[in-house]
Amino acid sequence: MSVTNKMLPQEIIRLKRDGKVLNEQAIKAFVSGLVDGSFSDSQVGAMAMAIFQQGMSVDEKVNFTKAMMHSGEVLSWQGFDGPIVDKHSTGGVGDKVSFMLAAIVSACGGYVPMISGRGLGHTGGTADKLESIAGFNVQPSISEFKRIVKEVGVAIIAQTDNLAPADKRLYSIRDVTATVESIPLITASILSKKLAAGLDVLVMDIKVGNGAMMHTLADAKALADSIVSVANGAGVKTQAIITDMNQVLGSSAGNAIEMAETVKYLTGKQREPRLHKVVQALASAMLINTKLASNEKEAHEKIDKVLRSGLAAEVFERMVAALGGPKNFIEKPWDSMTKANVITAVKATQHGYIAQMDTRAVGMSVVGLGGGRTAPTQAVDHSVGFDRILPLGVQVNRGEVIARVHAKDQDSADRAIEQFNNALSYSDDSPELPPVIYS
């Protein structure tokens, strides 16, 4: 049967429902229908479920991703004298890696046009974290975005309406039709936005564990394979690294608190070892894939140099100022961010080693404090969350401080303390810790 753009939505849905491979025209017709409304919400939901159930071949995923990417504006970076490179994480709790990474790679000579997401469910959003900073504008015009990338080397902004608009509609329907976890849909959603940004190189941080979208290593590897094969098939050099999300990354979770930890990291005041390992691995992959470094040893030397000299911190501060924030963010971060009304200790409920953390529960506790959303239009309280979180494997006595909660009032602080304690389990013996980097 030949499929044309005149084909009815229900016919395209039927083909996929019955496990047939959709050709390029059928896929383009679906993506056009997402943008022009010729596919109704119920038809989009049915199509998402058909893809969820039947999967997609690599060719289908490449065509689907390209059609979504071309559903809006595609950026071009002609006239730039260095590689255009970005990283994307599948999301987790306390994942503030983008900030350090973008500043480091830019300080080493790359251009990093990072288009980031909002928080979703228990995972924090990069754009929300930046909005903790007074005056910071995560939605500049595209021309302004390009100008800042050219002048500073990096700009981190929120998704704009004219980049991959097909994904915006599909994403909102996936969220309410239980089709979020489909590998073809995740692949096309992530890559359509990243490829529309006109990248030369993309590095993916695929999180695995109880605080990640992918709970098992097998699922994480399947997603990594899918993203790498589709991105390379669509002409963007891509590498994926699988990293751990069985505990909060770094020592903080919450918007302003994570920005404060970012400043401590960039200035060298505090570099939580697991966080540093992830930043180094991803930065190194970005530098090697763009040929800004010829091997891992050289990449690590360059990373250390821009951190030690303060150049990475300076680049980050210039980006904050260029997007409307203060000029002295690195020096005085809290002058432009709001502190929570109540900051109080979370104390261990028993003796022993901290053996496990229900990371998703900690993320949901931050949402419960007001630091995330349960509906897309909700406002976020940027001041709340947890900091000084002890990592797994630390031995504590009952009553010792294992974290601090930042809350708007005592009641919500008490609730969050109880939730945090319920998310931890202890052991008498030193536990076996998950690796930071899996592959």
Q: Is 193 a catalytic residue?
A: yes
* Residue 327: CB atoms within 10 Å: 12
Write the secondary structure of 139-169 as one string of H (helix), E (strand) and C (coil). Answer: CCCHHHHHHHHHHHCEEEEECCCCCCHHHHH
Q: Is 194 a catalytic residue?
A: yes
Indicate the Cα dihedral angle 181, 182, 183, 189, nearest 10°: -90
- Which among 174, 207, 274, 318 is annotated as catalytic? 174
Half-sphere exposure of residue 321: CA atoms within 13 angstroms, side-chain side: 15
Q: Is 339 a catalytic residue?
A: no
Q: Is 351 a catalytic residue?
A: no
- Which among 16, 96, 146, 193 is annotated as catalytic? 193
206 residue type, one letter: I
Read off the DSSP letter of residue 227: H
The alpha carbon of 47 is separated from its chain's Cα centroid by a whole number of angstroms, namely 26
Angle at 133 between CA 128 and CA 134, to 5 degrees: 120
Q: Is 86 a catalytic residue?
A: yes
- Which among 16, 61, 66, 87 is annotated as catalytic? 87
**Euclidean distance between CA atoms 173 and 430, whole angstroms:** 45
- Which among 106, 126, 251, 252 is annotated as catalytic? 126
Q: Is 302 a catalytic residue?
A: no
- Which among 16, 28, 88, 129 is annotated as catalytic? 88
Write the secondary structure of 291-306 as one string of H (helix), E (strand) and C (coil). Answer: CCCCCHHHHHHHHHHH
- Which among 16, 146, 194, 360 is annotated as catalytic? 194
**Euclidean distance between CA atoms 282 and 292, whole angstroms:** 14
- Which among 182, 189, 284, 336 is annotated as catalytic? 189
- Which among 65, 71, 89, 238 is annotated as catalytic? 89
418 residue type, one letter: E
**Euclidean distance between CA atoms 346 and 155, whole angstroms:** 36
- Helix H or strand E segment including 407: strand 401-407
Q: Is 168 a catalytic residue?
A: no
**Euclidean distance between CA atoms 382 and 112, whole angstroms:** 25
Specify whether the CB–CB gap between 208 and 243 falls below 8 A.
yes
* Tally: H helices and E strands in the chain: 16, 11
Specify whether the CB–CB gap between 176 and 376 falls below 8 A.
no
Q: Is 146 a catalytic residue?
A: no
Q: Is 89 a catalytic residue?
A: yes
Task: List CB contacts of 337: < 8 A, sequence separation 6 or more.
Answer: 132, 133, 134, 256, 259, 260, 382, 383
Catalytic positions are 86-89, 126, 174, 189, 193-194
